[in-house]
Amino acid sequence: MRRRDLIRLAALSLLPPALLAAGAGRAGAQGAPQAPAIDVEAILRDPQAPGAGNPEGDVTIVAFLDYNCPFCKTSAPDLARVVKEDGRIRLVYKDWPILTEASVYGAQLALAAKYQGRYGEVHDALMRIPGRRIPEEEMLKAVAASGVDLDRLMADLKAHIGEIGALLKRNATQAESLGLQGTPTYLVGPLLASTLDYASFRRAIAEARRRQAAEQAAAQ
């Protein structure tokens, strides 16, 4: 794999127990605060996080994304394709709006659409907007054209803004705990990868299955 396709590997299930149990925000040896503890279950199974694919899939892909990230937009069609073709992938979306203030607005719109079961349509519409630093007005226009009930979306956004904000905060905390540096970042089973294309997603999924099978065999 090219380095830019798979920048590093991290076996979440094999992280030292002491690291997984470390208290969030504890001071290190020099008094500096440490990153939050890695909560694997929360990363993989936050009940409020939108998902796609096969909910019973044998490999989970967790996607940390920003709607103003051009590399997220480049990878999005390949991710959707591999999830559809494979049929055994469970996909978890982590809206992580870190690039602009409009990124936060885009994430809020997508997550508000979840309450009418249309997160996927809004997510895809936002990912299809070309370029970076997309203004809020252009995001809203794309969302309105996606077929979503815009009046309901705006009402849901207002009614659930606290829940949406809490989810975005959890996503940011999880990204910090993993030491992520930017978007897109994908957890493919036990692998931590960035900026994957279709072929690289396929290779990462195959490697994730190989590692998971090896772990299961070793545990028997």
CA angle 75, 77, 81 (to 5 degrees): 115
Mean pLDDT of the chain: 87
Four-residue CA torsion sign, 193, 79, 88, 3: negative
Count other C-beta atoms under 10 Å from residue 68's C-beta: 24
pLDDT above 70 for 98: yes
Backbone phi, psi, residue 77, to 5°: -65, -35
Angle between helices 101-113 and 119-127 (to 10 degrees): 150
| pLDDT-wise least confident of 12-21, 51-60, 105-114, 177-186 | 12-21
Q: Cα separation of 95 and 64, whole Å?
A: 6
The answer for 92, left when phi > 0, alpha when psi is -120 to 50, beta otherwise, is: beta
Q: What is the mean pLDDT of residues 69-75?
A: 96
How far is Cα 85 from Cα 211, in angstroms, rounded to an integer?
Answer: 21
Question: What CA–CA distances, in Å, run from 38 to 43, 48, 110, 151, 171?
Answer: 8, 18, 26, 38, 12
